[in-house]
Amino acid sequence: MAINCNMDSQTTPLNYSIETENLNLWYGDFQALIDVNVKIPDGQITSLIGPSGCGKSTLLRCFNRVNERYGNVTTEGKIEVLGKNIYDSDVSLPELRKTVGMVFQRPNPLPISVYENILFGLRIHSPVGHLTRAESDQIVEEALTSVFLWDDLKDRLKVRATSLQLEQQQKLCIARLLPLKPRVILMDEPCSALDAKGTLAVEELMEVLAGKYTFLIVTHNMAQARRVSKECIFMFLGELIEHRETQALFQTPQHPKTADYVQMRYG
Amino acid sequence: MNTDTQTSPQTMFTETAISRQKRHIENVMRVFLFVITSLMIIPLLLIIGYLFYKALPVLSLDFLFTNPKDNMRAGGLWAPFLGTIYLVVVSLLVSAPIGVFAAVYLNEYARDNWFTRITNLAVVNLAGVPSIVHALFGVGAFVLFAGLGESILAASLTLAIMTLPVIIASTTEALKAVPMSFREACWNLGATRWQTIRRIVLPNSISGILTGVILQVSRAAGETAPIMFTGAVFYKAIAEGDLFAYNIVEQCMALSLHLFTISTQVPDVTEGIPYGTAIVLVGTVLLVNAAAIVLRVYLRTRKKW
């Protein structure tokens, strides 16, 4: 059913950050994911498109197992992150979520200062009083610099983060992940609450950071998928329909459902 | 050419019969709702004013710091005043932590299963049980079964059982008011549930939690039924001015019961004393409320951003 194009044209074999095998997921009796087999290449941006309710966000939330926090979820199948099965008994969820970060649709900085938002991840993963003042300052500066916020916010580090502009909040939410040295960053429609300028700023940021991190981005904005992602996955009613290079998927969709979806907006 | 005068530029915004009627109704409703709201203040002012007026002859510091005299026909309020403070403080020391932690469990940890549903049902029903039933439970469970006898401890525990479900309910409301997105942010950074609660959920709900607890202070101080069989006595003289004059395994006087006694059971009480007792009871509650509000403001400013 699913069309997975092997990337034979690649000269070197790709490494995959995330691989699933026959992934099935139920919310109670409702099956939200059906036999999903997917390989997400390392160090690049992959986008996930499809109509609302097709399981994109659900799939995303499988990869750091945060789905389980929402109750009444059953997962079957195999998920490997960086080659490790995340359902192995020796997997610690806090450690997994450190490595696989998540950015949300609605920017959700914590109701504490900008400074403390950046350090929050480190604080919950290290003993009390572990960080010296100088270390903290440096970590905050590095994280904010990586997301191009340092110049804007260096004099406002004590400001409550929820009072920033939405674009700054969303960048802060990305910056907040960085001190934990994540390998994968999952983004669930990260730009849908932002204006055009904010959207472009976040996209630029992703392009700069890709390479260091693997990005998987859910988006309803097909233009965005075409702009930022190298590979694109189309999902429909819980199934993975087509996964190919983004330009190929949009220009010559192989599956009629993909064609319908892609052309609905571009026909 | 538009000949219709109704829509000519000069008259198109003029008030019509219908819009005039709407404007009148609007004005009437605004005044009506304001008056209804004001009506709540009038009884309060009347009660407090009347109590003050009647109590004025007896109100003094001595009234507060001396024991009742002459079979409670004269003298002050020290023993019942201190007794009420003991009862309220001990009962809240028990019910506030248990209630808050139970609500945290129910709201942050518990899945929706039969245990949670039964617990929530129990909380709702317990909150609706009349206080005299709590009193009988207190006699059976604490005074007799646990062997505490009639004591401050038994009475406080009875009050705690009575206030517990309401504290659980109000704390749950306060926790629910913390946006889910804050929790999601924490979880996705690898925070455990407790870290999320400790660092984000509690600091952002503490005002609401305290408000719920404060309201129970007034209830615990004002109730008579739950304490009259479990630990409150008609009369007991204690050392005047000594804050530690009561032992919690002994009985105590209480303002609510004292007010009942001197108003209905004792003839020829000096006229101002019952009113003075009522003023002190209301004042004590307001004092505890004020202290809790100060604590709440302090906690809010201490939060760092």
**Tens digits of per-residue pLDDT, A186-223?**
999 999 888 888 899 899 999 999 989 999 999 988 89
The complex's ipTM works out to 0.85
Domain count, chain B: 2
> Given an 8 Å threshold on Cβ–Cβ distance, is A113 in contact with B304?
yes
pLDDT band at B46 (very low <50, low <70, confident <90, very high): very high
Same domain, B163 and B254: yes
Q: Which segments within B128-170 are labelled E, that is strand?
A: none
Distance from CA of B210 to the nearest CA of A (A): 20
Model confidence pLDDT, tens digit, residues A25-53:
999 899 999 999 999 999 999 999 999 88
Between B223 and B32, the higher pLDDT residue: B32
Q: Chain A interface, mutation test: which of B113, B188, B200, B206, most A Cβ atoms within 10 Å?
A: B188
Regarding whether B102 and B247 lie in a shared domain, the answer is yes
Question: What residues pair up with A20 in beta bridges, in sequence order?
Answer: A38, A79
Structural domain including B18 reads: 5-40
* H helix or E strand, kind and range, residue B175: helix B152-176
pLDDT at B239 over 80: yes
Asked if A110's CB is within 8 angstroms of B185's CB, the reply is yes
Q: Which residues of A touch B303 (CB under 8 A)?
A: 112
User: Is the separation of the CB atoms in A146 and A209 below 8 Å?
Assistant: yes
**Is A118 domain-assigned?**
no
When CB atoms are compared, the residue of B179, B192, B304 closest to A94 is B192
Is there a single domain that holds both residue B23 and residue B87?
no
* Same domain (yes/no): B25, B146: no
Integer Cα distance of B69 and B54 in angstroms: 20
- Nearest chain A residue to B183 by CA distance is A110
Q: b/e string for B139-177 if b means 16 or more Cβ within 10 A?
A: bebbbeeeebebbbbbbbbbbbbbbbbbbbbbbbbbbee
Count of structural domains within chain A: 1
Say whether both B85 and B135 belong to one domain: yes
Same domain, B112 and B210: yes
Contact state of A97 with B184 under an 8 Å Cβ cutoff:
no
Query: Rounded distance, CA B203 to CA B233, Å?
Result: 41
Pick from A106, A160, A161: which is nearest to B181 by CB?
Answer: A106
In a domain, B52, yes or no: no
* Cβ atoms of residues A65 and A14 within 8 Å: no
Residue B27 lies in a domain: yes
Q: pLDDT tens for residues B137-195?
A: 999 999 999 999 999 999 999 999 999 999 999 999 999 999 999 999 999 999 999 99
A67: which DSSP letter? Answer: G
B72 shares its domain with B30:
no
| CATH code (residue B144) | 1.10.3720.10
* CATH code assigned at A87: 3.40.50.300
Determine the Cα–Cα distance for residues A156 and A172; give it in Å rounded to an integer.
13
Query: Does residue A131 belong to any structural domain of this protein?
Result: no
Kindly state whether A66 is in contact with chain B, defined as any CB-CB distance less than 8 angstroms: yes
- Written as one string, the DSSP assignment of A178-201 is GGG--SEEEEESTTTTS-HHHHHH
- Cβ distance B304 to A108 less than 8 Å, yes or no, reads no
Q: Which of B112, B182, B184 sits opposite A111 (nearest CB)?
A: B182
* Residues shown for chain A: 267
pTM of the full structure: 0.82
CB contacts, 8 Å: B200 with chain A: 110-112
Domain hosting A227: range is 14-108+183-266
> Do B230 and B287 reside in the same domain of the chain?
yes
In-domain check, residue B46 = no
Asked whether residue B56 is assigned to any structural domain, the reply reads no
